[in-house]
Amino acid sequence: MQVSEVDWDHDPQIVLLQGAGEFFPALIAALDAAHTDVQFETYLFDFTGTGATVAEALVRAAQRGVHVRVVVDGVGTGRLPTPWRLRFRAAGVRCLVYAPLGLWGWLLPSRWRRLHRKLCVVDGRTLFCGGINVLDDFHDPNHGALKAPRFDFAVQITGHLVVQASDTMERLWQRMVAVRNIRHYQLPAAVRALRAAQAARHRATTSSGQRPRASLLLRDNVRHRARIEKAYLRAIGAAREEIIIANAYFLPGRKLRRALVLAARRGVRVQLLLQGRYEYFLQYHAARPVYGTLLAAGVEIHEYEPSFLHAKVAVIDAASAHPWATVGSSNLDPLSLLLAREANVVLEDSDFALALRQRLVDAMQHAGQLLHPETYAQRPWRVRWLDRIAFALVRVALWLNGKNY
């Protein structure tokens, strides 16, 4: 069945999870209760600290006969550490690496397309989706120990969305198996895998019930290249009271910038909670040149400072008759909106929207630093040049990919 632009699930059960402190216990409990199969995808799988507890749960599930498949990204994770790779193999955990770069991979723009979504389906009944990697909240692979937990969200959900997620994960797995078999000249096995991928179709249906409504938006580089961006644009365009966006790597294109500016000009209160700490050169500096236009339109920008902000969530008109909220893996930047495989859950449910809004408002009030237009205008010349260089590098990267943003 063809997936429509938005396929609503009218009777989902939804739980909001903040950070690994809430996400990992819920995920591990589901893994420990698994009976038949586990499908798991993540960009980054780090085995430090509490990340190892998730790996242990996957091993326990496989050891008692559960069919466990794990897919990690070739850049975010790469090759698993040898001890864990051997443990996974001995327990029966099957693991594939999505698009390993190899020695010269970064020189090929087509290889910049990454698996960035974070999905887990347990027994075909429970779905976890969000922005949280398998990574200890108090540990960063590049910066070491963190004094405060990483700020991020996921959802645990049951209902028809689980089937949609399971089918898309099955298709990706079978295609990766087919590619691996072709590389090893195992053509019959590759044909079987491709047929299995073709057979794994979207089976979700919708009921005639009432709210809450939820939809799983999947971005790929074939049929669904702009689903998540279009969902944001529609919701922002329909906003009447309030827009709150928390985004880790924020570099919106012209359409999104214009939508936010127009919303602010028509009286909507637009609040952005963005990364305040330096993490990566490009992501940190390339975002700053777009702040001026937003600030001039009256958009409020709060920079999160206690730790790294990794959330990719938004709430629009939470207290109205038509609330809108999203939790997922997609940043509002070119990598997520133009290149990566992403997954966001979109919800029209007042209870969920209000709960997420409260957590974001608390973060802005107690952990965010409001950026004043005067402060932005007085940035040192050296910082401005770094911002322009980073922005130019992003433009060059997009040009090399043939993308218009």
Question: Identity (one letter) of the amino acid at 332?
Answer: L
Q: Which of 135, 133, 131, 155 is nearest to 146 (CA)?
A: 135
Please write down the long-range contacts of 259-263, taking CB distance under 8 Å and 24 or more positions apart.
259/232, 259/233, 260/236, 260/294, 260/297, 260/299, 261/293, 261/294, 261/297, 261/299, 262/237, 263/236, 263/237, 263/239
Q: In sequence order, what DSSP letters do the residues of 199-265 get, joined into one string?
A: H--------S--S-EEEEEEE-SSS-SSHHHHHHHHHHHH-SSEEEEEESS----HHHHHHHHHHHH
The Cα–Cα gap between 27 and 120 comes to 8
Query: Quick one: which of 365, 364, 349, 366 has its CA closest to 155?
Result: 349
Q: Where are the alpha helices (DSSP H) in 321-368?
A: 334, 350-367
279/140 Cα distance (integer angstroms): 10
Q: How many CB atoms lie within 10 A of CB 97?
A: 18
Decide if 335 contacts 115 (C-beta within 8 A): no
CA distance 213 to 348: 5
Helix (H/G/I), strand (E/B), else coil: 324: strand
Contacts of 143 (CB under 8 A, 6+ apart): 279, 308
d(CA 173, CA 168): 9
Rounded to whole angstroms, the Cα distance separating 302 from 273 reads 5
Residues 323-362: b if buried by 16+ CB within 10 A, e if exposed: bbbbbbbbbbbbbbbbbbbbbbbbbbbbebbebbbebbbe
What is the rounded CA–CA span in Å between residue 309 and residue 305? 8
Non-local (6+) Cβ contacts of 84 within 8 A are 47, 55
Which residues are annotated as catalytic?
A: 116, 118, 123, 310, 312, 317
SS3 309: strand
